[in-house]
Structure 1
Amino acid sequence: MDTGTSTSTSTGTERLPTTTALLRFATAGSVDDGKSTLVGRLLYDSKSVLADQLGAVEAASMRRGQETPDLALLTDGLRAERDQGITIDVAYRYFATPRRRFILADTPGHVQYTRNMVTGASTAELAVVLVDARNGVVEQTRRHAALAALLRVPHVVLAVNKMDLVDYAKSSFTGIAEEFTAYAASLGVRDITAIPISALAGDNVVTPSAHMDWYSGPTILEHLETVPVGDNPTTAPARLPVQYVIRPQTAEHLDYRGYAGRIASGVLRVGDEVTVQPSGLASTITGIDTLGESVATAWAPQSVTVLLADDLDISRGDVIAPALDAPTITQDVEATVCHLHDRPLTVGARVLLKHGTRTVNAIVKQLPYKVDLTQGLTRRDLPHELAVNDIGTVVLRTSQPLPLDAYADSRLTGSFILIDPASGTTLAAGMCHATTARSGASA
């Protein structure tokens, strides 16, 4: 597991990570803005394309009568995408440079594939929003900015593409950058960087452009390699969703009882007083095992096994958290959801709610309003239902209490999915609102 560089904490003995060598990012933009070409150029110019892949792209381009490789074919993997020249599904690509590793989600631009962008950007730490320099900020651009804000993506890059078609004019770039930055900032996007590019020609994608000497900022790749990502784990309360209870049936480990899982946030230390939610049982950490050895400290996103001083009734789905900073316990969940399924979500629907490693039955009690992404995050009138790609607020009642954080505080422990109990298909992705239920106490 890569933890990046590290720095000493106030104890002077333990060392915790402060940066990460892995960046998850997503691309978005209107149809024909050049997302797939940008991704292809990024892979091609960074020498991240295998020889056989490049050969297949060159052969396909020649069959179309193109003298140069169509770099968009490196990401448009579905036949329908290649035939129509658009992105439909989320295309994931993995590549690396000497400075950082990347997981890229190339998401569709059309409004009917909003759910695909939500899927691709839900785990992203950076979003690249493309704009055609000839068209400027359009409705779909505003929609993508609103989704980035809604999903709490920490960093947004505005890539003003096709600058070669406006004669690399500074005024064209400046006007678009100022309009988008003002709009995204009004939605709460914290960090916005605007870069003028030509994905087709390669200007400012990997190498600086010789045609835009008025621009002195980073290229796309340089910004991706240097943007600070990975929150300091000491700033968030610890959360360990239990995946498995380990009890070896051997004479050597007869009394061993460990609680295994991946730390979602924060830091766990031997000696910490913790509580198990939603039961509210309390204990103290006596040991932490990871990677075949015992350690005194572990942090997100490490996978660990925690040992406690007391033999408690703990099972999959429970959450181990600090006694003084435990998540809220509630059976009434209010959240913003993106509906992903073709069948509408209606009041009274019975669903399964999967939060972390716990899955419970739930019923839809209310659908208070829908969200209009084209007008920021404006609330609309009470809907009768949420259709596919709709985003709105839902109020759920669960069969069992859940330990929830607000999505604004934690993208991991503040999110969930709704599942059809009959077919097992995913219906919606949810982001919890702040709740007033009791914190750190059993419901």
Structure 2
Amino acid sequence: MQRSHIVRPAAMFWGLVVFMPVGVTYLSAILLLLTLMLAGDTRERITRLRANPLWWPVMAYLAWTLLVLAFGRHYPETGSNLFHGVRIGLTILMAMALTREEAIWALRGFLLIAALNILLIVLYYAIGFPIWSPLRAVVMEVGNKSISNALLFSVVASTAAVWGIAQIAAHKPLRAIPAFVLMLGLGLVVALPLTSRTSVLALLLVIPAVCIHQWRNHLKMLVGSLVLGTVVLGAGLYQLPQLQQKVETGVQELEKAEAGAVFKGSWVIRYYMYRDTGLMIADRPLTGWGIGGWTEQWHKRGPELFADSNMPHNDFLWVGSQGGLPALLSLLVIMAGAVWQAWKRPDIAGRYALAATLIALIASSVNSALRDAQIGLALLWISQVYLRLALESKDPAPWRDLWPWPGKPALAAQQA
């Protein structure tokens, strides 16, 4: 094997383990970083990185982080927060540095393990059997890892939706049926056993977005697809008792929090975190409170009941509290810029990337999808791999060869 080829299995390994516990995803990230360093084509990769539209936003984000570290105050949490901040940048850079073939290998691993996990869910709830502990978060709600897995399933569901919509646009509606069945099935998975409101919200926003991208030049088809898709998906998901109860509980929690109540609740803690972290940024809008400063300020400002929290469930507020508005805006440019780059590509590869990057943007806005390594080492990586393929601007079919055997109906079939 040529040295340059060692990156392919490493990229695929990361794709294969995104549903696994965070220690395994850390191992895969380290392995890919080492193989990129040893592959021997450094100059070519640097050229590819510098040509990427996200290069300068990522450099600005990392540079400002280091400036705040150098001149700002230090805390006991500075080391861990610096690590996670740099990890976010490195994850994006590693995806950007991949060749098209390496990105295909990563995507192949992700879709393969997603298919196996879907089969696992079906078998688990159909016949029932003891589940291996590292896979529990795939089939049931288990902390933040199940949130991560639900978001990954949302990416798969949106990928299926994009494929199905493309078949309808190509006047092949029968071929779209399996894709929409998969989308609805995964919608049920994220809403019921994994019970992720973030993932449900992402699907409700992403499906209309890809419809707009598909039919932005065909108004009648666009309006019809948006109305039908939104009504069917929204009504279907909202009728699920478990999800409906969570939404109603969340609304009640917000109302009580606004009235000054303090109690354990997902939306209660977010209310106080968003309010108080916003005030942190307002107090020091330029430089923030320093890397790791959020925790100390939260202990001073937030309710004592939530004192053990170490992140504000919003990545933009997190970096803004530590590095001021420059840090917040640089991260926002990265995440929103990824969505914009996907939007600019008018074909199906652009829609795949649009869905994945938009899910990452939504998750980082209502959860700690970047700061929390359990989510960030999975969702951010996969969304950036999708984007890496979409940025092959001179290649009309960057998803080709996704399946290594001939004659396989491919998601890679490019349709406008």
TM-score range, shorter chain: under 0.3
The structure with the largest alpha-carbon Rg is 1
Whose helix fraction is larger, Structure 1's or Structure 2's?
2
Greater relative contact order (CA < 8 Å, ≥ 6 in sequence):
2
TM-score (norm 2): 0.25
| TM-score, normalisation: structure 1 | 0.24
